[in-house]
Amino acid sequence: MATQQALDDLQDKLDNLIISYLDLFDEYQSSRTEISRNFSEGFLNLAQANFNAPNRVRYGQDMYDNRMQALRGVHIAVDETDVTAYTLKDLTSPPKATTPEKADLKPPPSTDDANPDPTKEKTSEITTDQGDSDKPDTNSDDAEVALKLANSKTDPLRWFGILRPMTLGTAQKNFVHSLPPIMKLVSTLSDIEYHEKVIRDLRQKVRGMRKELGIKIDDGSDGEPAAMPELDKLTIGGEKSTDETAVDNSLEDEKQREEEVEKALRDE
């Protein structure tokens, strides 16, 4: 049987979920803003790189090498609440530095232990210390060189040689920096979907408990709680939501802006 205390607890839980939902929606908007900024700067730098390219080479999808392998992947994890978390993972595997076992620097036991010579002992200690100080630490240096060499070989900018425009590398950084916000965006959308389901279920329970307790709801909806417009805007799966369509339109606008900037630079 429903009680007023149970109804109050359920309403408090519903309020906390709505607050959490609004926080997720704010994170979603922040991620979209960051992605839009990175893509805008990336396409602008790419247009400048095409304008300053030697021999009028056009950098873009036509310059992709099919032999190129992905440098980053996506790790997908689903928890017990069916919330999907997307994280980036580095697919490059730099060679591991092998650390050889340190040689035993202790001198072999001498037969003159009974009558040690202080002069010889002092000389051997000095020689050992000097040998250790003069020996370079090659293990860490080799590891750093191997890591830099591996990263340089997998860098797609190497396709275009060393006389490439600086703005091409800047555009690459802009697009790479947009990957973490994209992962955060899709993870937030999955969490938002979970909150939508839980909020709807709790509202149905609250409505049923109010009817059972005989509490009249005066919100103009015949006993149903007022709907949150955000819950109907964000949907995952099926038809595209309003925000997903806005993302697609934003990308199309950025591409069109890139073409306009490139055309203006050529006219100059």
Distant-in-sequence, close-in-space partners of 138: CB < 8 Å, separation ≥ 6: none
DSSP 8-state class, residue 136: -
Residue 223 backbone class (left: φ over 0; alpha: ψ -120 to 50; beta: rest): left
Length of the chain counted residue by residue: 268
Please give the pLDDT value at position 6: 84
Which pair of structure tokens corresponds to residue 36? Answer: 């839009």
At 164, the amino acid letter reads R
Please give the pLDDT value at position 10: 87
Please give the pLDDT value at position 220: 46
pLDDT in tens, the chain (268 residues): 678 888 888 889 999 999 999 999 999 999 999 999 999 999 999 999 988 887 777 887 777 777 777 888 999 998 888 888 999 888 876 545 544 444 444 555 554 444 545 444 444 444 444 444 444 455 555 555 444 545 556 788 888 878 888 999 999 999 999 999 999 999 999 999 999 999 999 998 888 888 887 777 655 444 444 444 444 444 434 444 444 555 556 666 666 776 776 666 666 5
User: Residue 182's CB: how many other CB atoms inside 10 A?
Assistant: 19
Tell me if residue 139 falls in helix, strand or coil: helix
The alpha-helical segments, DSSP class H, found in the chain are 4-51, 118-134, 138-153, 166-177, 179-213, 229-233, 242-267
Please give the pLDDT value at position 194: 93
pTM: 0.59
Please give the pLDDT value at position 212: 80
Distance (Å, rounded) from C-alpha 39 to C-alpha 41? 5
Please give the pLDDT value at position 196: 93
